[in-house]
Amino acid sequence: MTRCAVLAILLLAANGCSGGAATSDAAVAAPPDPKSGGAATVLDVTANSYSNSIAGLSDEQAGDFSFGHSIFSQNWVTAPATTSGTDGLGPLYNARACSTCHSQDGRSPPFSSSGGLLGLLFRLSIPGRADNGGPNPDPVYGDQLRQFAILKVPADGTPHVAYAETPGKYGDGTDFSLQTPTYNIDGWNYGKPSAGLMISPRTGPSVIGLGLLEAVPEEEILAHVHPPDADGVSGVPNHVWDAALQKTVLGRIGWKANQPTTLQQTAAAFVGDIGITGSLFPTGTCTSTMTACLHAASGGDPDFELTDDRWKAVGFYMKSLAVPGRRDIDDPRALQGEALFQRFGCTSCHLPTLHTGADAVADVLKNQTIHPYTDLLLHDMGPDLADGRPDFEATGSQWRTTPLWGIGLLQTVNHHAFLLHDGRARGVAEAILWHGGEAATARENFRLADASERSALLKFLESL
Ligand code: HEC
Ligand code: HEC
């Protein structure tokens, strides 16, 4: 029996052959494609599944990949140090290594096992816009809270999170509980921040498949832009500053599509998160009143702390991480869940299929049919998920649809299930239940579905 036939029988069973639902579910009845990243897919279900390189790299590219990997994983140290090329940490920083927040190329939990903040960082800004159209940094603290600093330099301040349980019920009466976070920063070491300070807590997302997302032509992304339809779902692009091109371009990367390219995000992470300056962002992040910070030794002399070859190697590494293939493509429950994912309206934002164009850093990224489950566009997700902090054209309640490829392997790779931009959801079901705003109808379709349909949907997401 063919897979289509199996699925057809299953849908009949699931829907009691009811007209409308069966017709719309049939739209996904084609056999699923296990190659989520096209030719850039890797079939790996182990804890290493986010860390494979795409196939077909030249010797030079393979060298860049492993060099990039080593820099991504290394701990930076205070300058001056005898270890050449790894000094220049801080003076202010969030972590010593990229992999602290993107553990195993995935996502670190918001907290470490000892309870301290781990993958969570706090973007800061005050009302108004910077000259480049981006968030307006606090004049003293800049655009990000750094809770660590090298010796003799005061850190910015100390963030705290408290969670309150908020109970809810599924349509069938089953209880659930969501943990609502409250964020608070104290111990400001350089005086009070400006009035109206806005805080956006964010965890580091996984970094798989970025070369593919970057290779989706702009026209394909913009083709999905639309005003609110009958379900209340719209889709809008972000436009952000490209520091290399010195102009405003389409945003694709980050929780609010607030970065244009992986390479720029990489340079921004080095300077912002670890305090490592490079040619794109040559000045550090000490502001004018941070005396000890300004006078601290810098690393890398006479070059930048981050040499261009290292920056580009890490950027290439980020763009050439393969996407793990979809699993359980013959599992009837997962296939039922896939149909429900469409019927519930999840696919209005989590688009199952996009295509890459001819412009990419490696051949296997070019002209691929891919299944990232994102439209790379912004959606208003309602007040409960809002951070209240605009980011270029994204409002305080808009977020970029998160790609869902690889989500089923998060537990295997990173040993936790914390989801959403600030890691507040303790698993996929909670992540869905937090959806509001444009996604409220889809959330209600899930919440009001019976337990067997809900679990089929989760089974589908686990197969990605
Ligand atoms: C303190 C934690 C932290 C550290 C350290 C860190 N990141 Fe991140 N990373 C984040 C957060 C948070 C985001 C989301 C940023 C946003 O939305 O503004 C992110 C986003 C990214 C993205 C975009 C992913 C996507 O799908 O949108 C890339 C690429 C990335 N980081 C690379 C790096 C590199 C390279 C380094 C080391 C130089 C690094 N990161 C260090 C927390 C971190
Ligand atoms: C209106 C657009 C929209 C719809 C409809 C929608 N989502 Fe989302 N989804 C998003 C956005 C935007 C985020 C990121 C929100 C955040 O992190 O605060 C997200 C995040 C998620 C996440 C967490 C991903 C992660 O890695 O943190 C999951 C899981 C998810 N959605 C599943 C679903 C499912 C299942 C449905 C259907 C019941 C659905 N979504 C419907 C836009 C949408």
Question: What is the Cα–Cα distance from 458 to 1, expressed in whole angstroms?
Answer: 26
Note whether 86 and 70 are within 8 A (CB): no
Ligand 2 centre to CA of 301 (Å) is 45
262 pocket-lining for ligand 1 (C-beta < 6 Å): yes
Q: Which is higher by pLDDT, 86 or 379?
A: 379
The count of other CB atoms within 10 Å of the CB of residue 53 is 21
| 14 half-sphere exposure, CB direction, 13 A CA radius | 30
**pLDDT tens digits, residue range 252-275?**
999 999 999 999 999 999 999 999
Site to probe by mutation for ligand 2, drawn from 373, 379, 402, 419 as the one with most ligand atoms within 8 Å of Cβ, is 402
Report how far residue 306's alpha carbon sits from residue 312's, in angstroms, rounded to the nearest whole number: 10
Q: Is the bond into 32 cis (omega within 30 degrees of 0)?
A: no
Lowest mean pLDDT among 85-94, 109-118, 144-153, 324-333: 109-118
Question: Binning pLDDT at 50, 70 and 90, where does residue 31 land?
Answer: confident
Ligand number nearest CA of 267 is 1
Nearest CA to ligand 2 atom 29: 428
Q: How far does the centroid of ligand 1 lie from the alpha carbon of residue 115, in Å?
A: 21
At residue 91, φ and ψ (nearest 5 deg) are -55, -35
Pocket test for ligand 2, best of 213, 435, 445, 463 (most atoms within 8 A of CB): 435
Q: Tell me: the pLDDT tens digits for 222-262? A: 999 999 998 899 999 999 999 999 999 999 999 999 999 99
Q: CB 339: neighbour CB atoms within 10 A? A: 26
Q: Is 429's C-beta closer than 6 angstroms to any atom of ligand 2?
A: no
Which residue's CA lies nearest to atom 42 of ligand 2? 401
Q: What is the mean pLDDT of residues 387-394?
A: 98
Residue 9 confidence class, pLDDT cut points 50, 70, 90:
very low
Give the integer Cα–Cα distance in Å for 356 and 340.
Answer: 27
The mean pLDDT value for 44-67 works out to 98
Query: Percent of the chain at pLDDT above 90?
Result: 88
Q: Which of 350, 387, 426, 457 to mutate to test the pocket of ligand 2 (most atoms within 8 A of CB)?
A: 350
Q: Which residues contact 123 (CB under 8 A, 6 or more apart)?
A: 135, 143, 144, 199, 200, 202, 389, 391
Tokens read off for 30: 């084609």
So what's the pLDDT on residue 79? 92
Shortest-distance atom of ligand 2 to CA 398: 12
To test ligand 1's pocket by mutation, which of 273, 274, 306 has the most ligand atoms within 8 angstroms of CB? 273
Mean pLDDT of the chain: 93
Q: Which atom of ligand 1 is nearest to the CA of 200?
A: 18
Which atom in ligand 2 lies closest to the alpha carbon of residue 441?
5
Omega before residue 80 within 30° of 0, cis: yes
385 Cβ below 6 A of ligand 2: yes
For residues 137 and 163, is the Cβ–Cβ distance under 8 A?
A: no
**Contact in structure between 207 and 104 (CB atoms under 8 Å):** no
| Residue 298: HSE in the Cβ half-sphere, 13 Å Cα cutoff | 19
pLDDT at 29: 60
Residue range 394-416: average pLDDT? 98
Mutation pick for ligand 2 pocket among 202, 342, 349 (CB with most ligand atoms within 8 Å): 349
Separation of 375 CA from ligand 2 center, angstroms?
11
Decide if pLDDT at 85 tops 90: no
Ligand 1 centroid to residue 456 C-alpha, Å: 32
Q: Residue range 352-360: average pLDDT?
A: 98
Q: Is the pLDDT of residue 19 over 60?
A: no
Q: Which residue is closest in CA terms to ligand 2's atom 9? A: 401
**The pLDDT of residue 126:** 98
Residue 12 has a pLDDT of: 34
**pLDDT attached to residue 13:** 35
Atom of ligand 2 nearest to the CA of 378: 12
| pLDDT tens digits, one per residue of 414-455 | 999 999 999 999 999 999 999 999 999 999 999 999 999 999
